[in-house]
Amino acid sequence: MKYNYISKIRRGIGVLITFFVLHSSFFIFTSCEDMFTAENKLVTTDLAPKDTLYQMMGIIQNMQKIADRSIILGEVRADLVQLNTISASTDLQELAQNATSTSNAYNDPTDYYAVINSCNIFLANVDSTLRAMGESYYEKEIIAAKCFRAWTYLELAKIYGKVPFVTTPVITASEADDIVTKFNDASTGAGDMVSITTFCINDLLQYASRDRNAALLPSYGSNSSYMRHFFIPVRLMLAELYLYRGSFTQNQADFVEAVRYYHDYLAFPGEEITTGTYTAEWTSNSFSFVNNNYDLRFSGTPKSAYSNDDYLVYVPMDTIAYYGTTSSVRSLFNAQYSNNYYAPIIPSTRISEISQAQDNCVFVYNSATDFEVVFAPKDESAYGDFDYPYLYIGDLRLLNIFSTYSETDLYHGEYSKTRQFNLKYTDGSLRLRDDERQNFVALYRRPIVYLHLAEALNGAGFPETAFCILKYGLSESSLRNYVSEKEIAGLTAITSRGFSGEFANAAGWDEDIFHTRDQFALNYNSSAGGETGNIRLNQYGIHSLGSGDSWANPLYVLPTDVSGLLPEPEFTAQLPENATHEDSLAYQKAVDEYNAALEKVTKNNKEWLESDEVREKRQAALALIILEEEALEGSFEGTRFYDLMRYSKWSGNTAFLGNTVSQRNGSENIDASLLGKLASEAGWYLPLKKR
């Protein structure tokens, strides 16, 4: 029997959640000021515990109404998907062509402000001074509301560039009119990316020093395996805010703070969050799907999101429309009866090109002296027995999540013969009923957070450490072996601000918090599909999630400018067999001269590799590698347009976003219209209705 998450909450907390509380009918959008027209059904003061619970669940209900848009607006406008015009709606096609009108169904800020006003009402009326046993009684709920508000404002800044900004409840029409007037007059009440992130950072900083991540969540969520994922962790939210502000201001200090809070969030003792081990990989060097020489697993099968720890934060959705808000992403990304089996949103040529460009390899270990790295073929003919052989070239993550089959028994001529499915939005089945709805929409997933940490590390001036996340996995071992002493010294200077009391020094970078296997020492044997030794593997280099044993790949390296390196001196002196005393003196002089020259070269090369010039070039090159990895790992999850936005702002190359999106149909098939529309930053944002 079908059930929904909210009903589950009702049973779990033993109360009836009234969904008329903070209902989105606050906002009936007929003009710009109606964005703020409040018809609040529960405006109280001195909220009792039951009232705070009702209002918190009301905020989550309003989050449901914008959950799908967080995916659609971030993906359809970017380069990794294209539309099937047979089934894609006019609204989707407007988004894809960056010709979005103010009447477009996806261009409606009303529901975003429903979340914000719900949070503002809650924060204005909750008794923040009430204490019990020395602790703030409602602090966890206050933190949750402020994180929801921060996330929603960040979304608005990403979508619209500049929006009306208000932190107090909007109850009357005159208040709404005042806000809209000020915004349209461009005087006060307007927030852009920098001002919004700055406010939200200052609003949340006071809570970052509380102990444990779970302890910062509402009590009715912290002890549950699924309900805790309904709320946004404050340290993760702070890290995201600093990342975006740093990208827009190009301020290195913001990236340092982002690094601090990503680390504090991921590395809390006893609550460490690793990348996980779900990979799409060849398990032998035969590169054949015969005899189980492959392993394709996507960690995010939506059927059991609440028990899958790959998802860090998600919005629970109702699975039956009768009970509330349902998600439409499943029917947008998959072939179903409702779309005549033409999936409206399908992978683009661009993501195929990115995927095929990767060098997939298998490390084959036979003994300590007998091992090799074998690369998968790049020729489609090597996979000729498979449907869509191009999917087998390079990275396997696209193959892992994009599935097709041909339907031979057709009952209607309008039905598509080729059925396409995106396994990020199914429960594993390739025959989806129209009434089977997505039971959650993800906001944050483990590998994506790690990639954002890599971005922050690179922006903060630590490209070697950032590259470790991609190639080796983050651990004491990888830092010790692949990061320079100078970079380690700077990294360890970033102390924890997220912990207090007994945990104050728990997050040092020199601690072996992120455990990875040492593949070589453990006699890892890819051809056997495992490793020897009793080491529990829980951390991968992100590139290894789809491109094989990246830690052993000699082609996957951090680009380095070697123009300033000096060659090692050659030692040519020889000591004659019957050497005289003079011969020995001359030989020793040659040895001393060689050692002095070698020391000079070594010193020069070390200084060159650690120079600002080399580091800046590494940062520039690595930023593109991270962006490519974000495409491979995060495709179809609603992050791509904003990944491109952050890079364009950080690099100062505002044309980059448009240049990339215009390659949606392939690098040889540039969409000149998109290129022109997205050439400047002004073209990145959706239009708001004018008064």
CB 152 within 8 A of CB 112: yes
Q: Is residue 603 part of a domain?
A: no
Average pLDDT, the chain: 82
653: pLDDT strictly greater than 70: yes
Max mean pLDDT among 178-187, 513-522, 570-579 falls in 570-579
* Residue 365 banded pLDDT, cuts 50, 70, 90: confident
Looking at 287-301, 437-451, 519-533, 653-667, which range is the least confident one? 519-533
The residue ranking higher by pLDDT, 338 or 521, is 338
Q: Is residue 164 part of a domain?
A: yes
Q: Is residue 68 part of a domain?
A: yes
Tell me, letter by letter, the H, E, C secondary structure of 149-202.
HHHHHHHHHHHHCEEECCCCCCCCHHHHHHHHHHHHCCCCCEEEHHHHHHHHHH
**How far from chain centre, in Å, is Cα 64?**
20
Looking at 429-433, 485-489, 582-586, which range is the least confident one? 429-433
DSSP single-letter state for residue 474: S
**What value does the mean pLDDT take over residues 29-40?**
46
Predicted local confidence at residue 550, as pLDDT:
92
553: pLDDT strictly greater than 70: yes
* Residue 513 banded pLDDT, cuts 50, 70, 90: low
Looking at 175-179, 442-446, 493-497, 606-610, which range is the least confident one? 175-179
Q: Is residue 456 part of a domain?
A: no
Residues 40 and 127 in one domain: yes
Predicted local confidence at residue 381, as pLDDT:
83
CB 584 within 8 A of CB 573: no
The residue ranking higher by pLDDT, 211 or 639, is 639
**What value does the mean pLDDT take over residues 587-591?**
93
Range of the domain at 56: 5-249
222: pLDDT strictly greater than 60: no
Q: Is residue 20 part of a domain?
A: yes
Residues 237 and 124 in one domain: yes
* Residue 128 banded pLDDT, cuts 50, 70, 90: confident
* Residue 532 banded pLDDT, cuts 50, 70, 90: very low
Q: Is residue 25 part of a domain?
A: yes
37: pLDDT strictly greater than 70: no
Predicted local confidence at residue 296, as pLDDT:
67
The residue ranking higher by pLDDT, 283 or 18, is 283
Predicted local confidence at residue 300, as pLDDT:
45
Residues 9 and 112 in one domain: yes
CA-based torsion, 659, 662, 668, 669: positive or negative = negative
CA dist 511 and 212 (Å) reads 18
Predicted local confidence at residue 294, as pLDDT:
60
Q: Is residue 328 part of a domain?
A: yes
Residue 394, by phi and psi: left (phi above 0), alpha (psi -120 to 50) or beta? left
* Total structural domains within the chain: 2
The residue ranking higher by pLDDT, 322 or 4, is 322
CB 92 within 8 A of CB 345: yes
Residues 242 and 127 in one domain: yes
This prediction has a pTM of 0.88
Predicted local confidence at residue 204, as pLDDT:
96
* Residue 342 banded pLDDT, cuts 50, 70, 90: very high
**What value does the mean pLDDT take over residues 45-68?**
78
Predicted local confidence at residue 492, as pLDDT:
82
Q: What is the CATH number of the domain that holds 220?
A: 1.25.40
**What value does the mean pLDDT take over residues 432-449?**
86
pLDDT tens profile 130-174: 776 667 778 889 999 999 999 999 999 999 999 999 998 888 777
Residues 236 and 352 in one domain: no
The residue ranking higher by pLDDT, 536 or 349, is 349
Q: Is residue 600 part of a domain?
A: no
